[in-house]
Amino acid sequence: MKQSPAGRLPPPKERRRLRENASLTHDQVAARIGVTPETVRSWEAGRSTPRGRKGGAYLSLLGELAEPAVPVEVTVSQAPLSRADVTDCPPAADEDAPAAPEPVLAGVGAAVAGDHDTAEIPRVPAADGPAPATASAPAAEDTTEAGGTGPLATAAAPLTPAQAFDALYGFCSPALVRQTYLLCGRRELAREAVERAFQLAWQRWPEVARDRDPAGWVRASAYEYALSPWHRFRPRYRSPEAPPADASDRALLNVLLKLPPTYRRTLLLYDGVGLDLPETAAETEASTPAAANRVRHAREAVAERLPDLADPGELHRRLAELASSERLRAPKPTAVREGSERRARFWTRAAIAFTVAIVGATALTLRTAPTHYESPVSPGENVRGVPPRTAPGPLSDGELELRAKLRAETVSGPERLVPLTR
């Protein structure tokens, strides 16, 4: 039986990113592996999993297209996340201290690279200076094994899953709440979306811990929840919230909220967070040309209403200032983990109760259902030769007896007129 190499393959978005980094088309990859282009698209979309020799060839090709080294496959129990694994996210800054505008949006983004920039869409200048770090999160030295250095390399003092989750939440939640606010325009919804995203991440922590970009995984979940159209039917979100105090901030937020959700999300990822074009396209589940067109049209719509923001660098600065002007507090990581566990217990018990109800209803139906077939009573039919009874209605017993006596004694002949002699 052929075994699948899915356990060693990168996620579908990473497969697509590696192919686009190498400037390969689906036809070229399919020709090298020996499959159809539709199969390659299905692999990159996650609809199917490569197996057998074709899967091995696909894995080898991805290894060739990968960055200098191939990540080493590790499990959470062997190499838990350490604080050094999430140093690309900004620390949880004090709410009372003034926030720097540059790292507010780029906190939970992937590394900003200029290799995939296009001439049509100029890049936003990256913030100068080293990556943010804290005293409580010392840099961990990567351990090299046979095959390269992995993104989840073990540190000198590996953290437990709860500690790794708390470190990821503490670094990424402040910037992610501000990004989500720019996406939906509601402060309470932004906090709720980030909390739900981290609750889902804690429920699927083994999967999130092995992901190439755990912060990106949480960001995608938070964006999907914030852009859900079902929030408009909730009573708490029917009335509008108070707009920003500054007039320029109100104008920029109104322009962002008037963009289509897909354009708004693409513009925020590319010009706000600082992702490159292939990463933006993969996260928005669109092709790279489609993502480029969305960024271009969104910039044109913003520049039409606010001519001062025609420059991408100025747009990035204003997005950062708008996000940093709001004091959005996120709950504690312990409360998020406990809420996730309570929600998981609730839905588990609800599923068990629903299953028991279905089983009980089925048993009751089987118990009360008839065990043999009973033919239905056929409708009445008119029989020829028997005159129907006429009005004023059916005869009584006495009248029926009299009628029978008369019919028996009065026959044809003189007896009807002459009485019988005795």
Structure token digits, residue 144: 């090299």
The answer to whether 217 touches 284, Cβ cutoff 8 Å, is no
Give CA–CA dist 397/300, Å, rounded.
Answer: 100
The amino acid present at 205, given as its one-letter code, is W
In this prediction, residue 144 carries a pLDDT of 37
In this prediction, residue 259 carries a pLDDT of 92
DSSP state letters, 70-128: PPPP--TTTS---GGGGTTSPP---TTSPPPSHHHHGGGS----STT--SSSPPPPPPP
In this prediction, residue 156 carries a pLDDT of 53
Structure token digits, residue 201: 């991440």
Q: How many residues does the chain have?
A: 422
* 109-130 average pLDDT score: 39
Per the DSSP assignment, residues forming a β-bridge with 145 are 148
Question: Is 375's pLDDT higher than 60?
Answer: yes
18-38 burial, b for 16+ CB within 10 Å, e for fewer?
bbbbeebebeebbeebebeee
Give CA–CA dist 391/76, Å, rounded.
Answer: 93
Question: Is 29's pLDDT higher than 50?
Answer: yes
pLDDT digit string, tens, across residues 324-368: 887 777 788 888 889 889 989 999 999 999 999 999 999 999 998
* 50-64 average pLDDT score: 85
With bands split at pLDDT 50, 70 and 90, how would you rate the model's confidence at 269? very high
The pLDDT > 90 percentage for the chain reads: 19
| pLDDT higher at 168 or 409 | 168
In this prediction, residue 408 carries a pLDDT of 73
Task: Give the highest mean pLDDT range of 17-21, 127-131, 139-143.
Answer: 17-21
Say which CATH superfamily domain 6-65 falls into. Answer: lambda repressor-like DNA-binding domains (1.10.260.40)
305: helix, coil or strand? helix
Residues in CB range of 36: below 8 A, 6 or more apart: 30
Residue labelled with tokens 């800054």: 93
Give CA–CA dist 208/195, Å, rounded.
Answer: 15
The answer to whether 190 touches 226, Cβ cutoff 8 Å, is yes
148: helix, coil or strand? strand
* 70-92 average pLDDT score: 38
* 119-142 average pLDDT score: 39
Domain boundaries, the chain: 6-65, 83-116+158-336
The answer to whether 223 touches 265, Cβ cutoff 8 Å, is yes
Task: Please state which of the ranges 61-65, 129-133, 417-421 shows the lowest mean pLDDT.
Answer: 129-133
Task: Give the highest mean pLDDT range of 105-114, 141-150, 253-262.
Answer: 253-262
Distance of CA 324 to the CA centre of its chain: 27
In this prediction, residue 69 carries a pLDDT of 41
| pLDDT higher at 76 or 192 | 192
DSSP state letters, 274-300: ---HHHHHHHTT--HHHHHHHHHHHHH
**Measured between alpha carbons, how far is residue 169 from residues 16, 87, 334, 375 in Å?**
27, 12, 10, 69
The answer to whether 168 touches 214, Cβ cutoff 8 Å, is yes
pLDDT digit string, tens, across residues 275-310: 888 888 888 888 889 999 999 999 999 999 999 888
Per the DSSP assignment, residues forming a β-bridge with 85 are none
Other Cβ atoms less than 10 A from the Cβ of 16: the count is 24
The answer to whether 165 touches 209, Cβ cutoff 8 Å, is no
In this prediction, residue 412 carries a pLDDT of 57
145: helix, coil or strand? strand
Per the DSSP assignment, residues forming a β-bridge with 148 are 145
Give CA–CA dist 154/76, Å, rounded.
Answer: 10
Question: Is 159's pLDDT higher than 90?
Answer: no
Residue 178, exposed/middle/buried by CB under 10 A (0-12, 13-18, 19+)?
buried
With bands split at pLDDT 50, 70 and 90, how would you rate the model's confidence at 42? confident
pLDDT digit string, tens, across residues 208-240: 988 888 988 999 999 999 999 888 888 888 787
First to last CA, the chain: 113
Count of CA atoms in the C-beta half-sphere (13 A) of 337: 14
Residue labelled with tokens 């995984």: 217
Residue labelled with tokens 């990256």: 126
Structure token digits, residue 174: 């402040």
Task: Please state which of the ranges 43-52, 93-102, 229-238 shows the lowest mean pLDDT.
Answer: 93-102
| pLDDT higher at 99 or 223 | 223
Quick one: CA torsion of 414, 415, 416, 418, rounded to 10 degrees? Answer: 80
